[in-house]
Amino acid sequence: SRRAPAPAPETPAVPVPADPGLPVRQEGQLPGAERNPCCMGTEAAELLNVLTGYIEAALSDRRHLLALTRQAPAWARKDLRDIAADLQDQARQLMAAHYLITGQCYRPSISTERIYPGRWRPALRERYHAAACSGFNFARSAEDTMDPCLAKLFEEMSKESYRHAEELMRLLQRSLQGT
């Protein structure tokens, strides 16, 4: 007569740490799974509408610059495309921040309206002011949030927006040399 094998011992519900000095984590307490993380958490959620506004503004500014590129002098086209690419990256960073805060992907609105930038110099002037105002608004938002990670992101975007404004001013200066 054969005996049935002894049942396997039950595995403990809580894993035993390799180092007794380390804390034991319960299931659901994975790193980054805190209910209110210090970065991109409750403090950042207070500026969620501002964040989505910045995403839409970056994508709109990008579209305006690409439209302006089509009529720009050949010497200015690469610089305008580079700024537009930076704005695309900026929108992606902001969408990543949105996901970190909410756990949901943000879907920007898609505009199919055709943009007519108008004459070259007035359009450059308009894009300069848009970039400078973005720099100012990002700086102000960085000061307004208590979330350190969101503040850092806004500070970086403020600096980048001011760099864009400087580049647009340089393009405007060059275009005025011929007058």
Question: Are the C-beta atoms of residues 167 and 79 closer than 8 Å to each other?
Answer: yes
Dihedral of CA atoms 89, 92, 98, 104 in degrees, nearest 10, equals -170
pLDDT digits (tens, 9 = 90+) for 79-95: 999 999 999 999 999 99
pLDDT at 27 over 90: no
Question: Are the C-beta atoms of residues 139 and 154 closer than 8 Å to each other?
Answer: yes
pLDDT at 132 over 90: yes
- Between helix 120-144 and helix 148-176 the angle, nearest 10°, is 160
Position 23 scores a pLDDT of: 46
Q: Which of 152, 135, 35, 31 is nearest to 93 (CA)?
A: 152
Position 171 scores a pLDDT of: 96
pLDDT at 9 over 50: no
pLDDT digits (tens, 9 = 90+) for 101-126: 999 999 998 777 888 888 999 999 99
Residue 33's pLDDT band, with cuts at 50, 70 and 90, is low
